[in-house]
């Protein structure tokens, strides 16, 4: 799936595009398959969110730099935690470099993102046991961009995060979602109940077959 995602990305790129990337193993692996090239001019890769988890190699900042190095582009980082306290969130929003990043998000042409299982993402964020139990109670199934969605695709919870916001997706030209594995099937079905129409999903056979099985079971 990473190879197919890289192929699709290269097919939609154009000079001076801004490409936002999230973190995670799957998104990081896409950079292994894009061609080393200077075909496009002035590409800018940016981190779509702050850091999640302890592995720096899988964070959006690092992944943005990997793409930029392979494709002769530049990159902009967002060095802060993915989840912020209310006080920190209010303070950071006023910082000039945050305002610059928000402006870049408004002008982003492509976003490459994963779709997570809600409880797995909560654990990666080191959420408390009480928070995880709360997510279970409200029926959170999937997570993307700091929003948690239930099985009907309704946003039931969100974290305070500086990064791409859900409402900004509607205006982006290309949305490339990449996620796979049988365990992701319910999360994918949940997210795509509300995903913007221009979203393209690249997944694997295991997830696709499990999604079809669940849909047939629910009919």
Does residue 153 come out as left (phi exceeding 0), alpha (psi in the -120 to 50 range) or beta?
A: left
Residue 10 near residue 112 (C-beta atoms within 8 A): no
Residue 212 near residue 148 (C-beta atoms within 8 A): no
Q: What is the pLDDT of residues 123-182, one digit of tens each?
A: 988 888 999 999 999 999 999 998 999 999 999 999 877 889 899 999 899 999 999 999
Q: What is the pLDDT of residues 46-84, one digit of tens each?
A: 999 866 545 566 788 999 999 999 999 999 988 776 666
Residue 33 has pLDDT above 70, yes or no: yes
Dist CA 31 CA 34 (whole Å): 5
In this prediction the pTM is: 0.91
Residue 44 near residue 74 (C-beta atoms within 8 A): yes
Strand bridging mode 142-144 / 147-149: antiparallel
Residue 82's pLDDT is what? Answer: 61
Which segments of 41-164 are extended strands (E)? Answer: 44-47, 74-76, 110-113, 116-117, 142-144, 147-149, 155-158
Beta bridge partners of 59: none
Residue 6 backbone phi and psi in degrees, to 5: -65, -40
Dist CA 207 CA 188 (whole Å): 8
The overall average pLDDT reported for the chain is 91
């Amino acid at each position: 799936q990473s190879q197919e995602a890289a192929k699709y990305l290269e097919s939609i790129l154009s000079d001076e595009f801004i490409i936002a990337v999230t973190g995670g193993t799957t998104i990081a692996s896409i950079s292994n398959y894009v061609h080393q090239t200077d075909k496009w001019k002035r590409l800018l890769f940016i981190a779509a969110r702050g850091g999640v988890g302890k592995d720096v190699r899988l964070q959006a900042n690092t992944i943005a730099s990997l793409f930029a190095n392979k494709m002769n582009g530049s990159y902009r980082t967002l060095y802060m935690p993915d989840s912020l306290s209310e006080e920190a969130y209010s303070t950071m929003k006023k910082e000039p470099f945050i305002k610059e990043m928000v402006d870049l998000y408004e002008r982003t042409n492509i976003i490459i993102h994963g779709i997570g299982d809600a409880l797995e993402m909560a654990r990666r964020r080191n959420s408390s046991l009480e928070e995880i139990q709360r997510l279970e109670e409200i029926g959170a199934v999937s997570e993307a961009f700091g929003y948690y969605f239930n099985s009907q695709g309704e946003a039931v919870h969100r974290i305070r995060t500086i990064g791409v916001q859900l409402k900004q997706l509607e205006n982006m030209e290309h949305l490339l979602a990449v996620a796979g594995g049988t365990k992701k099937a319910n999360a994918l079905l949940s997210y795509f109940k509300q995903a913007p129409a221009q979203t393209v999903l690249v997944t694997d056979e295991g997830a696709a077959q499990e999604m079809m099985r669940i849909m047939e079971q629910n009919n």
